[in-house]
Amino acid sequence: MDLSFPPEAESFRDRVKVFLTENLPANWKGTGALSLADAKAFANEWREILLRNGLIGVSWPKEYGGAGLSFLEQVILSEEFVKAGVPMGAPTDVFGFQMLGNTLIAHGTQYQKQYFLPRILSGEDRWCQGYSEPNSGSDLASLSTRAQLEGDEWVINGQKTWTSAAHLANWMFLLARTDPEVPKHKGISFLLVPLDQPGVEIRPIRMLSGESEFNEVFFTDARTDGINIVGEPGQGWNIAMTLLGFERGETAATLPVRFRVEFDRLVELARETGANKNPLIRERLAWCYCRLEVMRYMGLSALTAFVSKKQPGPEASISKLYWSEYHKVITELAIDILGPRALCLSGRPPSSSFQTDDTGALNSTASWGVTFLNARAGTIYAGTSEIQKNILAELVLGMPKG
Ligand SMILES: Cc1cc2nc3c(=O)[nH]c(=O)nc-3n(C[C@H](O)[C@H](O)[C@H](O)COP(=O)(O)OP(=O)(O)OC[C@H]3O[C@@H](n4cnc5c(N)ncnc54)[C@H](O)[C@@H]3O)c2cc1C
C-alpha cells in the first residue's frame, strides 16, 4: 500500500511552506504563544492575508470566488497551517465554509451559490448552526421549531439551544418543521435565516469556565425569504445529514495532524517537568502515540474516500468516537503531568469545538486545564459517543435496534 501523497500534491505543499515563510514574522511560535488580545488581532489580519492570496475556500469552484483546488490540496494546506500554528480563517468560518458552503455547492440553487458563497468568503456573512433544541438533541428529528410559508416568506417560531457563536453570527442555517402531518424525518426543512431582525433574540449561555461560547436563540414570527430554503420543503433531513458528513469527513482527514502537534507538545512538557522519568507516564504516552498512529491511518482512509467523492457514510462515526474519546484521555494525562499547576485556568481561550486555531492553544501550560475541560465537550457535540455507538451497532454491524 502506497501511503504517500502524489508528487503534484507535494509541490503544492512546498508552495504553502513558501507562503508561510513569506507571510509570518521571524521566530513565529504559533498563535498559542500570543496573549488572547494579540491572538484575536492576528486572526483578523491573517484572514485578510488569506483572502488577498486566494487561500480561503480553496476547494470551492472559481466561479464562486474559490481557488478551484482539489480536496487533497485543501487538506495539505490545513496540515501545514496546523504545524505552523496559524488558523485557516476566523473562528466562525467553520460554519460558513466547512458546513454550509460545501452543502450549498452540493444542494443549493444557482441564486444561493451566487449570493451566499462570495459573502462567506469576504467575511460579510458569519454563520451559526441551528439544529439542537431544548427537547431535541440526540433525537434531532423530533424537533419542534415551526416554519410556515406566508406569501413569499417563511415565518419561524420556536427555540434553538447550544448554538455556538450565534452571538458572532448574522445568519443561521436551521432545521424547522414545515409539515407536522407526515412522519418526523419527512416534515423537516433546511432554512437560511437572517439573525438581525426583531423576531430573533440571542441569549448567551455562561459556561463553567466563565466563557460564553454558545447561546439560546428564540424565534417569534421571525422571517426569511421564500427562496432561502435549501432543497425542497420536507427534504431538510437529507440536507442536514450531508452537512454533518462534510463536518465529520473533513475533520477525520485533518485532525490526526492537529493531535500529533498536541502530542509532541505534551512529550516536551513531560521532559520539562521530569515526568518522563516515571514509567507509568511513559506507558500512558506510548498508549496515546499508538492511538494517534491508528487515527492517522483512519484519516488517510477518510481522505481517500473524500478524494474519490464518496459521500461519508455511517463509518464516519468510528472516527468521531475514536478521536473524541482519545482527547479525553490525553488531556487527563496532561493534567496528571502538570499536577496542581493544572488548576490555573488563565491564559489562552479554550480550544473550543468551533475554533480552527486551537492547536496553538497548547503552547502555555495554563491552557491545558481549559483544553481538558473542552475535551469533555468533544464527546457531546456533533453527536454524543453513545449515539455514535448506536449508529455503528445498527448501521455498520447490522445489530438489532435498541
Ligand atoms: C461545545 C458544544 C457546542 C455545541 N454547538 C452546537 C451548535 O452550534 N448547534 C447545535 O445545533 N447544537 C450544538 N451543540 C449541541 C449538541 O449537538 C447536543 O448537545 C448533542 O447532540 C446532544 O444532545 P443533548 O444535549 O440534547 O443531549 P441528550 O440527547 O438529551 O442526551 C443526554 C444523554 O443521553 C444519551 N442518550 C440520548 N439518546 C440516547 C440513545 N438513544 N441511546 C443511548 N444514549 C442516549 C446521550 O448520549 C447523552 O449522554 C453543542 C454542544 C456542545 C457541547
Summarised one tens digit per residue, pLDDT across range 160-206 is 999 999 999 999 999 999 999 999 999 999 999 999 999 999 999 99
Residue 258 sits in the same domain as residue 231: no
Residue 32 sits in the same domain as residue 106: yes
Does the CB atom of residue 209 touch ligand 1 within 6 A?
no
Q: Which member of 79, 80, 213, 247 is catalytic? A: 247
Q: Would you say 75 and 253 are in contact if contact means Cβ atoms under 8 Å apart?
A: yes
Which ligand 1 atom is the nearest neighbour of the CA of 140?
21
> Which of 201, 235, 269 is the last residue before a domain boundary?
235
Domain coverage including residue 34: 7-122
- What's residue 365's pLDDT? 41
- What's residue 237's pLDDT? 96
192, β-bridge pairs: 173
Amino acid at 300: L
Take atom 9 of ligand 1 and give the residue whose Cα is closest. 163
> Which of 172, 201, 235 is the last residue before a domain boundary?
235
Residue 189 sits in the same domain as residue 155: yes
Residue 107 sits in the same domain as residue 143: no
2 is a domain residue: no
Residue 274 sits in the same domain as residue 391: yes
Tell me which of 100, 127, 162, 374 to substitute to probe ligand 1's pocket, judged by most ligand atoms within 8 Å of the beta carbon: 162
Does the CB atom of residue 323 touch ligand 1 within 6 A?
no
297 is a domain residue: yes
Residue 18 sits in the same domain as residue 115: yes
User: What is the value of pTM for the model shown?
Assistant: 0.91
Q: Would you say 175 and 130 are in contact if contact means Cβ atoms under 8 Å apart?
A: yes
Residue 367 sits in the same domain as residue 256: yes
- What's residue 388's pLDDT? 92
Distance of CA 320 to the CA centre of its chain: 12
- What's residue 357's pLDDT? 35
Residues 136-163: tens digit of each pLDDT: 999 999 999 999 999 999 999 999 999 9
The CA angle 141-143-381, to the nearest 5 degrees, is: 75
Which ligand 1 atom is the nearest neighbour of the CA of 138?
29
Q: Would you say 33 and 360 are in contact if contact means Cβ atoms under 8 Å apart?
A: yes
- What's residue 216's pLDDT? 98
Q: What is the CATH number of the domain that holds 147?
A: 2.40.110.10
Amino acid at 119: R
Does the CB atom of residue 135 touch ligand 1 within 6 A?
no
Residue 133 sits in the same domain as residue 118: no
- What's residue 290's pLDDT? 98
- What's residue 30's pLDDT? 84
Alpha-carbon distance 228 to 194, whole Å?
10
Residues in the chain with pLDDT values less than 50: 347-366
3-state secondary structure the chain: CCCCCCHHHHHHHHHHHHHHHHHCCCCCCCHHHCCHHHHHHHHHHHHHHHHHCCCCCCCCCHHHCCCCCCHHHHHHHHHHHHHHCCCCCCCCHHHHHHHHHHHHHHHCCHHHHHHHHHHHHHCCCCEEEECCECCECCCHHHCCCEEEEECCEEEEEEEEEEEECHHHCCEEEEEEECCCCCCHHHCEEEEEEECCCCCEEEEEECCCCCCCCEEEEEEEEEEEECCCEECCCCCHHHHHHHHHHHHHHHHHHHHHHHHHHHHHHHHHHHHHHCHHHCHHHHHHHHHHHHHHHHHHHHHHHHHHHHHCCCCCCCCHHHHHHHHHHHHHHHHHHHHHHHHHHHHCCCCCCCCCCCCCCHHHHHCCHHHHHHHHHHHHHHCCCCCCHHHHHHHHHHHHCCCCCC
Alpha-carbon distance 18 to 257, whole Å?
20
Active site residue 45: no
